[in-house]
Structure 1
Amino acid sequence: MEISLRLKEIANMVDKCESVVDVGTDHAYIPIYLIKNNICKSAIAGDINKGPLDRAKNNINSHRLQSKIQCRLGPGLTKIHPKEVNAAIIAGMGGHLIKDILEESKEVFKNLDFLVLQPVQNPEALREYIYSMGYKILKESLVFEDNRFYEIIKIKYDENPKSVDHIYYEIGEYLINTKHPLIKKFLYNNIDKYKKILQYIREDTESAALRKVEIREKIIKLEELVQCI
Structure 2
Amino acid sequence: MKTGLRLQKIEQIITRRYDHIWDCCCDHGLLGFNLLKAQAAQTVHFIDIVPALLTQIENTLQNHWQGDRQAWQVHCIDAGVLPITACSTQPETDTHLIIIAGIGGELLIELMQSLLLLSENHPIEFILCPVHHNYKVRQFLINNKLGLLNEALVFENGRGYEIVHVSCNSGQPLSAVGSIMWDFSDPLHRNYLHKTIGHYQRIAKNPNADVTSILKQYQQLR
Task: Name the TM-score class by shorter chain.
Answer: 0.7 to 0.9
Residue 100 of structure 2 is aligned to residue 94 of structure 1: no
**Map of 2:83 onto structure 1:** 80
What's the TM-score, normalizing by structure 2? 0.78
Alignment identity in percent? 21
After superposing the two structures, state which structure 1 stretch, 127-136 or 32-41, moved more: 32-41
* 8 Å contact kept, 1:20–1:42: yes
Flag the structure with higher helix content.
1
Q: How far apart are residue 210 of structure 1 and its match? A: 5.7
CA contact (8 A) 1:28 1:59 kept: no
Structure 1 runs of 4+ with >6 Å offset: none
Which consecutive residues of structure 2, in runs of 5 or more, have no partner in the other structure? 89-94
Determine whether 1:14 maps to 2:14: yes
Q: CA deviation at 1:63?
A: 3.2
Conserved in 2, the CA contact under 8 Å of 1:20 and 1:87?
Answer: yes
Aligned pair in 2 of structure 1 residues 59, 4: CA closer, same or farther (>3 Å)?
A: farther
Is the 1:23–1:90 Cα contact (8 Å) retained in structure 2? yes
Q: In the TM superposition, what are the counterparts of 1:1-229 in structure 2 within 5 Å? A: 2-17=2-17, 18-64=19-65, 67=69, 68-82=71-85, 84=88, 86-110=96-120, 111-158=122-169, 168-169=175-176, 171-176=177-182, 183-194=189-200, 197=202, 208-209=206-207, 211=209, 214=211, 218=215, 221-226=217-222
Distance in structure 2 (CA, Å) of the matches to 1:99 and 1:217 = 19
Which is greater in Rg? 1
AA aligned opposite 1:73: C
Which secondary structure state, in structure 1, belongs to the residue aligned with residue 181 of structure 2?
A: helix
Q: Work out the CA distance in 1 between the residues paired with 2:55 and 2:107.
A: 23
Extract unaligned runs of 5+ from structure 1.
202-207
Instruction: Output the CA distance in 2 between the equivalents of 1:78 and 1:47.
Output: 11
| Deviation per residue, 1:101-158 (Å, 9 max, x gap) | 2221334334134111111121222111111111112111111111101110101124
CA 112–97 in structure 1, closer or farther in 2 if over 3 Å, else same: farther
Give the superposition deviation at 1:74: 0.6
Aligned residues between the structures: 209
Q: Contact 1:191/1:223 (CA < 8 Å) preserved in 2?
A: yes
Equivalent-residue separation in structure 2 for 1:36 and 1:158 (angstroms): 28
1:191: Cα distance to partner?
3.0
TM-score normalised according to structure 1 size: 0.76
How far is 1:179 from its partner? 6.2
- In the TM superposition, what is the alpha-carbon distance from 1:222 to its structure 2 partner? 3.1
1:152-184 alpha-carbon deviations (Å, 9 max, x no partner): 010112499x7x9xxx53x213324x7695532
Q: Judging changes above 3 Å, is the alpha-carbon distance between structure 1 residues 198 and 39 closer, same or farther for their aligned structure 2 residues? A: closer
